[in-house]
Chains A and B, each alone.
Chain A
Amino acid sequence: MSRDAFSALGRRQLDVTLGGLDDLTLVEGARAGSREAAGELFRRHWEPVWKAAYALVGRRALADDIAQEALVRAFGALEQFDATRPLGPWLKRIAVNRAIDELRSERRLRLVEPTESDQAAERREPDDAIVAAVRGLDVGKRLVVVMHFWLGYTVTEVADALAVPAGTVASRLSRALAQLRADLEVERADSA
C-alpha cells in the first residue's frame, strides 16, 4: 500500500472517530499537539465564528481577517482555555472583541473606505432583506443588534463588551429596531 493510500485510510478512520468526540476531548487532543483534533475543532467552529465576525463588521474581507485571527489566537492559547466552559462562546467572544477593536480603530484612523474587491464581493451577497437591513445600520446600532439578537448577549453583556452604560445599549437597540421596522416596511411596500 502506498504511503498516500495509507494516510488516506487512516484519515477516514480518524474522521469517524473524531466526529464522535466532544469539544473538551478534542481540546485536550489539540493541547497535546494533535493536528487531527485541532482540525476537527476548526471544522466545527470556523463557520459560526466567521458568521459572528461578518455580522458585526458587514464586510467579507474584514470578517475573514477577524475570524482567522480569533482562531489563531484561540489555538495559540488553548492552554489558557477553561475546560469547564463551552468552547464555542469563548471563540465567538474573541472574534467579537477583535471586531469591536477593529471597528473602533477604523473610526479613529478613518480607514473606512472599503477596497474595490471588498465592494465587488459585497455586491454578490445573497439578498436576504433582514440581513441586508442589519448590515445597513450604522456601526453603533449594528453592534448592539447583532450581539443581542444573533449572538445571544444580554443588554448588560453588550454594555460590558462595548464599555458603554447599559442605558446607552438599550436606547441604541430601541432606535435600531425602529429603523429596521421602517426599512423593512419600505422594502415590503417596494416589493408589493
Chain B
Amino acid sequence: MPTPLDELIRQAAARLPAPTRNATTRARRAALAALDGGSRRPRSGGRVSLLAAAAVLLAAGAAAGFLLAPSGRTARGAPVLPAGPGFVPANGWNTIATARPRVAVAVAANVDLLDAAVPLLWPQRTLERLPSDGIVLVATLRPKDELRLLEARPSLPLDLRDATMATVRGLTRYSMRGARAGYDIDVDVYFAEPPSAPLLAEAQAELGRLAVPPITIFARPSIVPSPISPQFEPVLLGGSIASRGTPETVTVQANECTFPGWRDIVSETTDDGEWRARVPVATKSAFRAKWKTAVSATVTVQTRPGVNLEQLGRRTWSIRVLAQRSFLDRRARLQRFDVRTGRWKTVKLVRLTEKQRTRGVGVWTYGTARALVRSGSQLRAYVPRQIVGPCYLAGYSIIITAR
C-alpha cells in the first residue's frame, strides 16, 4: 500500500531538471556517429568517454555485419537471391535487400547505391545525387494487413502504367501497391526528371524482377555478443510463408562452422503466416528454413568469443578466452588506450597456455603475463580474428582500469 510520501516521491520525478542544449547537441552528434559506425571518439569530455569510444568501435563491427546482409550486384558475379524478398538485379543494376521482423525493404538502382544499408523511408544519399538517367526502386513489404489497409491489391508483377505519379523533393515518383505471398507491397520508383519511354521500359523490366520467395528468414542479431556479455541471448530467427491462416510447420536447419551439411534443429508452427524460433548460437552458423518443399535463402550469424581480463597483481595479468574450441598456444593481446592518439596500443602478447572445459558452455583457454602499466590506465584484452577465425569474429574484454 503506497504511503503519501511514496506518492510525493513518485510525483517529484516530473520535476527533475532537463539536460542543457549543449549536452543535447553533443550527445545527438555522438549517437548519430555511432549509428554510422564512425570510429571517432565522441567529445563528451568526461570520464566515461573511453567506454563510449569502445561502444563506437563495437558499432562499427555491427555495421560491418549489417553490410553482409543479402545483396546482389551483377558486376561482380552471379545474382544473389536475398534471404527475404528482393530485386534480382538486371545487368548493370545494383540491389540490396533485408528481411526484418514485420518489414522487409528492397532497393534496386541503375546507379551506384550510395546508402550503406537498406533505408526504410528514403535512400537519401542515392536519391540526392541521382543523375538525369538514374532510376531507383524502393519496395517495402509488410505482412498482409499489417497496416490495416483493407484494400484490394493487384498481384505481382506490378505495372508502371497503374502507378500514381507525384513530384517529391524535385524527383518524379511513381507509386504502386501490390500483394504477393502474404505481403502487402509498396513500391516507389524514382526518376531524376519526368522519364523518357526507354527509361520507363528499363524501370518496368527491373520492377518485374521483384522476387518474393514462398518462405523467408531473418536472424536477429546477425552478430552475437560474447557468451559472457550481459547482452548475450539466443538468436531470434523468423520469417514469413506464403500462406496465412492455417498453421503450418516450418523446420529450421543449421550449418555450423566446420560442421559438414545441414541438420534440423527446431520445428515451429506458423501463426498467421509468421514463424519465430529462438536458438542458441555458439559459433558462426548458417540458417535456413523449410516449408513443405520450399527452402528459404540462407542467413549467417557470426559470433564473438568471450574474453575476460583480470589484474591479478600489480604487474600480473590474466586473459581468458571462452569459445566452443580451445585456442591453446595462440596469443591474445593486452592493450592500453592511448589518450594522446586515441588508439589502442598492444602492451603485451599473452600466450594462452592452459585450457579448461566448462560443461555446456565451451572451453576456457587462458594465460597470464607480467606487464608494468601505469596505474589508472584503461586496459582491455583483445583476440584478433586471425587467431580465432574462421568460426569467430575478433573478441574484446570489457575495459578495466589498472590499479
Contacts and interface: CB of A to CB of B under 8 A. Distances in A.
Interface of A: 1, 6, 9-10, 14, 17-18, 24-25, 28-39, 42, 46-47, 50-51, 54-55, 60-69, 71-80, 82-84, 97-98, 102, 105, 109, 111, 125-126, 128, 130-131, 134, 145, 149-150, 177, 180-181, 184
A67 B98 CA distance: 31
Pairs A-B, 7 closest by C-beta atoms? A76-B59, A65-B46, A130-B12, A29-B120, A68-B27, A33-B117, A76-B34
A9 to B, nearest CB: 7
B150 interface: no
B170 interface: yes
B34 A75 contact: yes
25 contacts: A28-B102, A34-B120, A46-B28, A50-B18, A50-B27, A51-B16, A51-B19, A54-B16, A64-B23, A66-B48, A67-B23, A71-B30, A72-B34, A72-B42, A77-B55, A79-B222, A83-B101, A126-B15, A128-B15, A130-B8, A130-B9, A130-B15, A134-B12, A149-B6, A180-B5
B381 interface: no
Given A51-B18, A61-B46, A130-B9, A80 B122 contact: no
Contacts of A128: 12, 15
B119 interface: yes
Interface in B174-190: none
A78 B36 CA distance: 11
B230 to A, nearest CB: 8
B396 to A, nearest CB: 13
B49 interface: yes
B118 A32 contact: yes
Contacts, number: 223
A111 B31 contact: no
A68 B42 contact: yes
A40 to B, nearest CB: 10
A131 B62 CA distance: 39
Nearest to B11: A130
Nearest to A151: B13
Contact of B220 (A36, A47, A79, A184): A79
Contacts of A39: 28, 32
Given A38-B35, A72-B42, A79-B62, A65 B48 contact: yes
Contacts of B32: 35, 38-39, 42, 75
Nearest to B18: A47
Contacts of A105: 401
B47 A64 contact: no
Interface of B: 5-6, 8-10, 12-13, 15-20, 23-24, 26-28, 30-37, 42, 44-49, 51-52, 55-56, 58-60, 62, 65-66, 98, 100-103, 105, 115-122, 124, 169-170, 220-223, 225, 230-231, 233, 236, 376, 401
B368 to A, nearest CB: 23
Contacts of A36: 121-122, 124
Q: Is the interface of A mostly helix, strand, loop or mixed?
A: helix
A25 B103 contact: yes
Max chain A C-beta neighbours (<10 A), residue from B19, B102, B170 = B19
Contact of B48 (A34, A69, A76): A69
A149 B11 CA distance: 9
Given A65-B44, A83-B220, A130-B12, A42 B31 contact: yes
A17 B122 CA distance: 12
A137 B111 CA distance: 61
Given A50-B19, A64-B23, A80-B223, 14 more contacts: A38-B35, A50-B18, A54-B19, A60-B19, A64-B44, A69-B44, A69-B49, A72-B42, A73-B52, A76-B55, A77-B59, A79-B62, A82-B236, A149-B13
